[in-house]
Structure 1
Amino acid sequence: MLLIECPHCGPRDENEFHYGGQAGIAYPTGEVTDAEWAAYVFLRDNPKGWFRERWFHVHGCRTWFAAERHTVTHEIRTLP
């Protein structure tokens, strides 16, 4: 079980949150090819170490926020 620090509600169980994927991905602008669109939708980093993610506090303040999760230890730290 993960304990996620919501910036508004404090530490909460992971069951209160919805994972929103990798943070910081820019939406494509203008015309894009099918291959470029597929890369935007499906291809994400898979690092060993700290990874920026988006989380939504579904069963709390209903706020999206960014956090970093260590992909080996699952330690989570909230970003400002």
Structure 2
Amino acid sequence: MSAPAAAAEVAGELHRAGGDVTLGVGCELTVFMAGLVPGADVAARLASLAAVAHAYAATRTDRPPPPTRLVAADH
């Protein structure tokens, strides 16, 4: 089984157990390749994606806002 498939299996189990799960796979290409997301460099592209995420989250009253900083070691 590939790593993304294994991650999807675990995410599915967590979701079925009642967890609020989001699985992002392949975002590296999105931020490291110029032209897919607005921005002159990786930092600017990440900022663009974060702005979209926060704008979307503002429309969702059923969920807390996304974190302003996410560190995998914190979770």
How does the TM-score come out when normalised to structure 2? 0.29
Task: Kindly indicate which of the two structures has a greater share of residues assigned to helix.
Answer: 2
Task: Kindly indicate which of the two structures has a greater share of residues assigned to strand.
Answer: 1
The structure, 1 or 2, with the larger RCO (C-alpha pairs under 8 Å, 6+ apart) is 1
